[in-house]
Amino acid sequence: MPGPGQAVRPDGRRATARDVAAAAGVSRTAVSFAFNDPARISAATRKRILQVADDLGYRPDTVARMLSHRRTGSLGVLLPQGIPEVMENPYYAQFLVGLGQVCQQEGLTLLLVPPLRDSMLKAIPYAAVDGFVVCGLEVDRGEVAELNRRGIPFVLVDSEAPEEVPSVDVADEAGAEAMMAHLLELGHRRIAILAFEAGPDREQYGYRGPLGRRLTGISRALEAAGMSLDHPTIELIEARATKSAGFEAAHRLLARPDPPTALFALSDILAMGALDAAYELGFAVPDQVSVAGFDDQPEAAWVRPRLTTVRQAVETKGRVAGDFLVAAIRGQSQHPHQLLQATLVVRESTGPARILTS
């Protein structure tokens, strides 16, 4: 049932360039020129063709044009989670702001490509894009090879990137180490680390990617204090990267008889939940419990008390990844790597450890 303005042929299909050519008494070449290269035909012919095209409601087919041009005009973002999870996470929103700036500038669209049947690998062949930004590839289960097979440029972000592939990463290790050192220096020893969940490959490969690097940095700071992640007063808990999961995890920790004196959330969104849990349970922050985050989302500076966290330039990360990808699509870049800073930002949510009663 065609709507208004939608012209169809007798057989129910949309008009094609062939139909227009026939109706206007010209070749398909001429029709194509009328749309794409007006200078190549006479004004009169062009006018007639356009008129006929209008009457038939003709529009060049998008996909056919892409096939001829060998170009789609869109960038893909290969995601480690489903679109709903990603959109719930302000980290990704910020990342996509940066990537979106590149799209804006280049006139490109952005294709969100979630795992297909839980597999990033399987999603790769179905996306009509000129290149991929690959996010959070903690373990390469063949994705890199598959992308190479498609012969499509790509940039790895927040991943475990081999040397020969363009990548953008953050100095997660140094950032986490600095924060942990900050907490230890404040006298904290009973510390809970709230990690966002590792991917499904954790069992097999251990902690990898940004999470792995942050934990390495934490270990290093602990070792400098003669401790380790296995120390009895250090605790590592995983939670989904949502505020409510952070709330629940922190609530459980703080409700115990021997609550930690500091919570180090490995992402701000978890820290926000922890802050609310502290508020709910009547813990003064930072007097009774310190809360630290990671990322420095804009919200971190708005909450009360303002959140002590590790700043990473997420928007920049997206922009750089986009720039690298565009360069690669143009065949300009070799294998650029960018390592972005991660810096400690001390605000109000951390302070000296409370005196332990037990």
Any idea which residue has 């709910």 for tokens? 280
Nearer to DNA, 33 or 92 (CB): 33
Binding flag, residue 39, DNA (CB under 7 A): yes
How many residues bind to a copy of itself according to rule CB under 8 A? 69
Q: What span, in angstroms and rounded, lies between the C-alpha atoms of 136 and 225? A: 31
Binding flag, residue 67, DNA (CB under 7 A): yes
Residues 37-56 that bind a copy of itself (CB under 8 A): none
Binding flag, residue 37, DNA (CB under 7 A): yes
Binding flag, residue 73, a copy of itself (CB under 8 A): yes
Near a copy of itself by CB under 8 A: residue from 7, 22, 186, 346 = 7
Q: What span, in angstroms and rounded, lies between the C-alpha atoms of 213 and 221? A: 13
The three-class DSSP label of residue 197 is: coil
Stretch that binds a copy of itself, among 67-75, 221-229, 255-263, 340-348 (CB under 8 A): 67-75
φ, ψ at 15 (rounded to 5°): -70, 145
Stretch that binds DNA, among 27-35, 197-205, 247-255, 278-286 (CB under 7 A): 27-35
284 binds, among a copy of itself, DNA, none (CB under 5 to 8 A by kind): none
Binding flag, residue 131, a copy of itself (CB under 8 A): no
- Which two tokens mark 231? 């120390």
Spell out the residues 6+ positions from residue 185 whose beta carbon is closer than 8 angstroms to its own.
none
Binding flag, residue 58, DNA (CB under 7 A): yes
Q: What span, in angstroms and rounded, lies between the C-alpha atoms of 180 and 311? A: 14
Binding flag, residue 94, a copy of itself (CB under 8 A): yes
Binding flag, residue 60, a copy of itself (CB under 8 A): yes
Mutual angle of helices 43-56 and 28-36, in 10-degree steps: 100
276 binds, among a copy of itself, DNA, none (CB under 5 to 8 A by kind): a copy of itself
33 binds, among DNA, a copy of itself, none (CB under 5 to 8 A by kind): DNA
Near DNA by CB under 7 A: residue from 2, 8, 42, 122 = 42
Near a copy of itself by CB under 8 A: residue from 22, 50, 139, 165 = 165
Q: What span, in angstroms and rounded, lies between the C-alpha atoms of 293 and 243? A: 12
Task: Judge whether 145 and 167 are in contact, CB under 8 Å.
Answer: no
The whole-angstrom distance between residue 307's C-alpha and the CA centroid of its chain comes to 22
Binding flag, residue 30, DNA (CB under 7 A): yes
Element (H or E) spanning 237, and its range?
strand 234-239
* Helix extents (H) in 59-163: 62-69, 83-88, 90-106, 120-123, 143-150
- Which two tokens mark 294? 């990671």
Binding flag, residue 89, DNA (CB under 7 A): no
DSSP code per residue over 11-76:
TSSBP-HHHHHHHHTS-HHHHHHHHH-GGGS-HHHHHHHHHHHHHHT----HHHHHHHHT--SEEE
Binding flag, residue 72, DNA (CB under 7 A): no
Nearer to DNA, 60 or 73 (CB): 60
Near a copy of itself by CB under 8 A: residue from 11, 37, 39, 84 = 84
Q: What span, in angstroms and rounded, lies between the C-alpha atoms of 170 and 312? A: 7
40 binds, among a copy of itself, DNA, none (CB under 5 to 8 A by kind): DNA
Q: Which residues bind a copy of itself (CB under 8 A)?
A: 1-8, 14, 57-64, 66-67, 72-74, 82-84, 86-88, 90, 93-94, 96-101, 103-104, 107, 109-114, 116-117, 123, 125-128, 144-146, 148-151, 164-165, 243, 272, 276, 298, 302, 304, 334
Q: Which residues bind DNA (CB under 7 A)?
A: 13-14, 16-18, 25-33, 35-37, 39-42, 44-45, 58-61, 64-65, 67-70
